[in-house]
Amino acid sequence: MLSEFDKAILNAVQGEFPLESRPFAVLAKRLHTDETTLIARLTELKRDGYLRRLGAYFDSDALGYKGTLIALYVSPDKFASVIEAINRYDGITHNYEREGEYNLWFTLQTASESQRQIILDEIHGLPGVEKMLELRSAKKYKVRVQFRLD
Amino acid sequence: MLEEKDRKIVSALADGIPFVPRPYAVLAEKAGMEEEEFLSRLKDLKTQGILRRVGAVLQHRRAGFSANALCIWNVPEDRLDGVGAAVSREPSVSHCYSRETAPEWPYNFYAMIHAHSREVCESIADRISAENGLGERKTFYSVREWKKAAMRYFCENH
């Protein structure tokens, strides 16, 4: 169970993490605690699976990458092998099984058009992939993964 | 295009921020520069909008967000930007994109909605539809997350 202190920590680290030499100390001060306590608790929250990652998030377009969303219908008997093959690509960062006429949805980011096409052809050819939709992003309106804990 | 030093910074950050008192000093060493230069370049990347943010991402299911739906609509082209701006203001929406359509797939507007239950998720999606005068909606609830990783820029093996 998360304590009020844990929730305060998780809400705070989802905001802007300080770009300063001692960022945990800065954050700790705001949370009325100290650097050592905050680092120890964050380590535990990560170990216990509440915190996925503390990191830098870049604008993929600005780095020269193009993103696309792919929807597949994969036959149930081949599901495991298709997932294994798909998850091996570094450019595929999100892969979700969903309910509905398309049951596997993943995102792909590549630095070139040819690389994108090669990967998609490989995936289209996997045994069990019965339907495939490519939904290229046109405009990004929001990417802000923040979950407020009350 | 990014300078070589900035590319080194981006790639040094691929594994996230370490939980140590001076994390940027550790990352700077990986990137082959001093902490001061690392931080000042990182701040510049932020100002230029290349770095969106440094911060944490939760395991949302573990944190109680068990209903996660990809909601899809067909929005008239000339209304996309307005609807995109309105839907982006919703706190329960994490991702909102317009996308190209495909044959037999006229849907061009995508939003990820997260809630503590399907009931709440449906009511948010219904409200978004009503407030923006949107038509038919397709909803794809997540069943299982098979992969969620941060993109490792400039280090792909494929």
Same domain, B78 and B131: yes
Rounded to whole angstroms, how far apart are CA atoms B67 and A54?
Answer: 23
Residues of chain B in contact with residue A117, where contact means CB-CB under 8 angstroms, are: none
Domains defined along chain A, listed by start: 4-47 (no CATH), 66-136 (3.30.70.920)
Residues of chain B in contact with residue A64, where contact means CB-CB under 8 angstroms, are: 1
Same domain, B134 and B93: yes
Same domain, B71 and B137: yes
Same domain, B42 and B77: no
Q: In Å, how far from its chain's centre is CA A74?
A: 22
**Residue B104: which residues within 8 A CB-CB, separation 6 or more?**
none
- For residue B25, give how far its alpha carbon lies from the nearest alpha carbon of chain A (Å): 8
Q: Is residue B97 part of a domain?
A: yes
Residues of chain B in contact with residue A50, where contact means CB-CB under 8 angstroms, are: 58-59, 62-63
Q: Which own/partner contact pairs does A37-43 have at CB distance under 8 Å and 24+ positions apart?
A: A38/A9, A39/B19, A39/B20, A39/B21, A41/A5, A41/A6, A41/A9, A42/A9, A42/A13, A42/B19, A43/B19
Q: Is B155 exposed, middle or buried (0-12, 13-18, 19+ CB in 10 A)?
A: exposed
Same domain, B99 and B137: yes
- What angle (nearest 5°) sits at the alpha carbon of residue B48, between those of residues A70 and B53? 60
Residues of chain A in contact with residue B56, where contact means CB-CB under 8 angstroms, are: 10, 13-14, 17, 51-55
Q: Is residue B158 part of a domain?
A: no
Q: Is residue B156 part of a domain?
A: no
How many domains is chain B partitioned into structurally? 2
pLDDT at A143: 87
Cβ neighbour number for residue A136 with a 10 Å cutoff: 16
In chain B, which stretches have pLDDT less than 70?
Answer: 156-158
pLDDT at B157: 45
Report which DSSP code applies to A61. Answer: T
Q: Is residue B116 part of a domain?
A: yes
Of A134, A145, A148, the CB nearest to B57: A145
Contact at CB, B1 and A99, closer than 8 angstroms: no
Contact at CB, A149 and B51, closer than 8 angstroms: no
Strand A129-143 and strand B67-73: the pairing is: unpaired
What does B99-120 look like in DSSP terms, one character per residue?
Answer: E--BTTB---EEEEEEESSHHH
CATH value at residue B82: 3.30.70.3460
Q: What are phi and psi of A87, to 5 degrees?
A: -65, -15
Same domain, B33 and B95: no
Same domain, B99 and B132: yes
Query: Residue A55 in 3-state DSSP?
Result: strand
Q: Is residue B27 part of a domain?
A: yes
Please list the pLDDT of chain A residue by residue as tens digits (150 residues). Answer: 899 999 999 999 999 999 999 999 999 999 999 999 999 999 999 999 999 999 999 998 888 899 899 999 999 999 999 999 999 999 999 999 999 999 999 999 999 999 999 999 999 999 999 999 999 999 999 988 777 888
Same domain, B27 and B76: no
Residues of chain A in contact with residue B145, where contact means CB-CB under 8 angstroms, are: 95-97
B92 touches chain A (CB under 8 A): no
Same domain, B43 and B72: no
Same domain, B42 and B97: no
Q: Is residue B79 part of a domain?
A: yes
Residue in chain B lying closest to A1 (CA): B63
Tokens of A6: 């844990």
Domain limits at B40? Answer: 4-47
Q: Is residue B23 part of a domain?
A: yes
Report which DSSP code applies to A108. Answer: E
Same domain, B76 and B132: yes
The sign of the dihedral angle between the CA atoms of A119, A122, A125, A127 is negative
Contact at CB, A52 and B57, closer than 8 angstroms: yes
B20 touches chain A (CB under 8 A): yes
Chains A, B: CB pairs < 8 Å: 242
Q: Is the CB of residue A25 less than 8 Å from the CB of residue B21?
A: yes
Residue in chain B lying closest to A45 (CA): B58
Q: Is residue B148 part of a domain?
A: no
Tokens of A54: 């503390």
pLDDT at B27: 98
